[in-house]
């Protein structure tokens, strides 16, 4: 502060501690899928470079079903290269490139290629203008022979200026693909958007969830259906004027879902789709078991077996949750094995959330399971029985093949099967609230269910438990309980075999990361090291006092080290400050063993 005028000045000094708060541990993200048949409003163009088949899409206004451009061919060529992700530096055939830009090749008036071996150059001549390029870039046949995109860009820029190239004017998609080294493989009707979704939405109870379902369906109807056939002439305001604004139309459809039979039936049919029903029932199970806030998201796709992580740029599938930073759990209720594995791998890469996976409706101990290296997911079997909800129309079709089909415990007329992941997420939220994330989510009752799809006894469970598959069992007079607390890393990395250990580390790591943001760009000296030591010890002390760390004293439970030893001069010069933290997590008493023998009143019993 610069003091010029006489007077009294007050200067604030920020010298107090900066407490670290624990992040939320029980907010899940639920991803569901439903079948969506989009309108054919595009043409899918396929090409091959001999090694792989690639596909791009163009609007029907730009290209016909045979791959011929119509209308503005220049726009069509630009959109085709954009759809394929092609850049100018990837041109492989200069002759084809010149042809689609109005320069003929060969003949008396066309561009000519000539080689000069002495100079190791190839020249291109057109209308008395000549451009030369290294023979390491261009062959005398006009083929690009380098992968150096910068060199190719420089060549194309020189040719554009010298030959005054016009806008691209190809006749077909084949002309454009050949210029980039692809052969045209075909064209077929398709859709520009083959998936349908709305960004994830946060809900906190069943009422909010069902309002979101109505909102989602209203938006879906307005985006994809013929409103006149569903709503007739009722899309008007209070004065009888036809609604024009899109939001007003969606709000009107939202209101009409409860009053118009056509919309009410369509909504019921939508909810009764097998994949949608499993999703809705699972989110309901989350709230039945004590869940609070969660993020809900559904994606429509023509191919129900499509990948959940193939389109990050459009924030589809698992990438839709990228901006939901407080998510700690993830589930894809009722989706197939491939989707469950994708979810696990997604969580293993992100390292800030835990995957709760569904096993098959009936199984045995040798079932296939997703592989995990760091234990960022757990799998549960079997499925649950619940009361059939009033909004569910029709009957549930469950088909089990093979010898395991005889293990299926069938439902009665008032029950349906649902996958376990939603209920388990709610149970985890309940345990986190009542005991803390360090308590294993096991030996806890599952609420809101009437039975199990399969009975797994004590002896059978040994096969499951040894591989890290968590079993839910029905105990007489004690209810239906989760009877396993292992991750899918049980075999591959036993250090991370317990769910509560992995979830505790997620909480601690994320809490420290968020709570230490203030330290970025601070002077990297002993003052900073002392502040980090102070704040981290204070936080871990609270974690230890909450029962999450093992040890009679803080020194036995954790340590924090940030000094000259962890921060030598070369790391300081590199802009780094390094803090070593060690914590001793509490692990569950999975096997409680009592040693009993006859005692004669003398020495203690020994084996």
Confidence of residue 49 (pLDDT cuts 50, 70, 90): confident
Q: Give long-range contacts, CB 8 A cutoff, 24+ apart: 73-78.
A: 73/168, 73/169, 73/170, 73/171, 74/167, 74/168, 74/169, 76/170, 76/173, 77/168, 77/169, 77/170, 77/176, 78/168
Domain residue spans of the chain: 1-20+516-607, 42-190, 280-500
pLDDT digits 0-9 by tens, 208-225: 999 999 999 999 988 887
Residue 193 has pLDDT above 80, yes or no: no
| Element spanning 340, H or E | helix 337-350
Q: Which has more confidence, 345 or 106?
A: 345
30, 55, 144: which is closest to 97 by C-alpha?
144
| Residue 447: DSSP 8-state | P
pLDDT for res 38:
77
For the residues 500-518, what does the mean pLDDT come to?
A: 96
pLDDT digits 0-9 by tens, 238-268: 777 777 778 888 888 888 888 888 888 889 9
Using DSSP bridges, classify how beta strands 469-475 and 479-482 pair: parallel, antiparallel or unpaired.
antiparallel
> Percent of the chain having pLDDT more than 70?
97
Residue 607 has pLDDT above 60, yes or no: no
Give yes or no for a contact between 185 and 53, defined as CB atoms under 8 angstroms apart.
yes
For the residues 507-536, what does the mean pLDDT come to?
A: 95
pLDDT digits 0-9 by tens, 474-499: 999 999 999 999 999 999 999 999 99
- E strands within 18-155? 28-35, 42-48, 53-59, 112-116, 121-126, 129-134
> Percent of the chain having pLDDT more than 90?
55
Q: Residue 194 and residue 186: Cα distance in Å, rounded?
A: 19
CA-derived radius of gyration, the chain = 32
pLDDT for res 169:
87
pLDDT for res 33:
95
Q: What is the pTM of this model?
A: 0.81
Q: Burial-class residue 606 by CB neighbours within 10 Å (0-12, 13-18, 19+).
A: exposed
Residue 122 has pLDDT above 60, yes or no: yes
Q: Residue 441 and residue 482: Cα distance in Å, rounded?
A: 8
Mean pLDDT of the chain: 90
Average the pLDDT over each of 184-188, 331-335, 495-499 and give the range with the smallest value: 184-188
Using DSSP bridges, classify how beta strands 580-583 and 558-561 pair: parallel, antiparallel or unpaired.
antiparallel
Q: Residue 529 and residue 526: Cα distance in Å, rounded?
A: 5
Length of the chain: 607
């Amino acid at each position: 502060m610069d003091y010029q005028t006489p007077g009294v000045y007050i200067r604030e000094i920020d010298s107090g501690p900066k407490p670290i708060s624990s992040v939320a541990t029980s907010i899940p993200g639920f991803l569901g899928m439903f079948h969506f048949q989009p309108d054919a409003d595009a043409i899918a163009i396929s090409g091959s470079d001999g090694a792989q088949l690639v596909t791009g899409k163009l609007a029907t206004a730009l290209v016909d079903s045979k791959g011929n451009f119509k209308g503005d061919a220049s726009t069509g060529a630009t959109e085709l290269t954009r759809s394929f992700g092609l850049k100018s530096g990837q041109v492989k055939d200069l002759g084809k490139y010149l042809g689609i830009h109005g320069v003929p090749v060969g003949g008396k008036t066309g561009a000519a290629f000539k080689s000069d071996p002495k100079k190791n150059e190839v020249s291109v001549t057109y209308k008395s203008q000549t451009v030369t390029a290294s023979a390491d870039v261009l062959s005398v046949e006009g083929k690009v022979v380098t992968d150096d995109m910068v060199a190719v860009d420089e060549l194309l820029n020189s040719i554009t200026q010298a030959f005054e190239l016009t806008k691209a004017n190809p006749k077909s998609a084949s002309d454009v693909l050949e210029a980039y080294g692809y052969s045209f493989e075909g064209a077929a009707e398709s859709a520009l958007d083959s998936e349908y979704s709305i960004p994830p939405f946060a809900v906190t109870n069943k009422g909010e969830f069902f309002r979101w379902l109505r909102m989602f369906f209203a938006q879906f109807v307005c985006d994809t259906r013929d409103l006149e056939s569903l709503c007739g002439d009722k899309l008007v305001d209070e004065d009888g004027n036809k609604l024009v604004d899109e939001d007003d139309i969606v709000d009107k459809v939202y209101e009409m879902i409860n009053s118009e039979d056509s919309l009410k039936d369509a909504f019921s049919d939508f909810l009764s789709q097998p994949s949608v029903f499993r999703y809705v029932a699972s989110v309901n199970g989350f709230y039945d078991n004590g869940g609070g806030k969660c993020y809900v998201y559904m994606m429509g796709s023509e191919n129900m077996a499509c990948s959940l992580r193939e389109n990050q740029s459009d924030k589809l599938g698992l990438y839709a949750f990228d901006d939901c930073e407080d998510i700690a759990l993830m589930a894809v209720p009722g989706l197939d094995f491939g989707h469950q594995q994708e979810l696990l791998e997604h969580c293993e890469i992100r390292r800030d959330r835990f995957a709760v996976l569904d096993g098959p409706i009936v199984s045995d101990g040798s079932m296939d399971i997703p592989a995990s290296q760091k234990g960022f997911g757990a799998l549960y079997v079997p499925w649950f029985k619940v009361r059939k909800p009033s909004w569910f129309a029709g009957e549930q079709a469950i088909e089990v093949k093979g010898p395991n089909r005889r293990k299926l415990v069938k439902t009665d007329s008032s029950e349906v099967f649902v996958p376990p992941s939603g209920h388990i997420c709610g149970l985890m939220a309940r345990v986190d609230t009542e005991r803390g994330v360090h308590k294993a989510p096991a030996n806890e009752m599952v609420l809101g269910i009437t039975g199990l799809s399969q009975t797994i006894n004590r002896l059978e469970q040994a096969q499951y438990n040894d591989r890290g598959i968590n079993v839910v069992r029905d105990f007489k007079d004690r209810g239906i309980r989760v009877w396993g607390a292992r991750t899918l890393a049980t075999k591959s990395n036993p250090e991370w075999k317990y769910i509560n250990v992995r979830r505790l580390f997620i909480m601690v790591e994320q809490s420290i990361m968020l709570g230490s943001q203030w330290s970025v760009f601070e002077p990297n000296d002993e003052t900073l090291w002392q502040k980090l030591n102070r704040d981290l010890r204070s936080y871990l002390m609270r974690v230890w006092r909450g029962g999450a760390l093992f040890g009679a004293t803080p020194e036995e439970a954790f340590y924090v080290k940030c000094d000259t030893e962890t921060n030598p001069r070369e790391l300081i010069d590199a802009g780094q400050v390094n803090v070593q933290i060690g914590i001793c997590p509490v692990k569950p008493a999975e096997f409680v063993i009592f040693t009993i023998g006859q005692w004669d009143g003398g020495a203690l019993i020994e084996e």
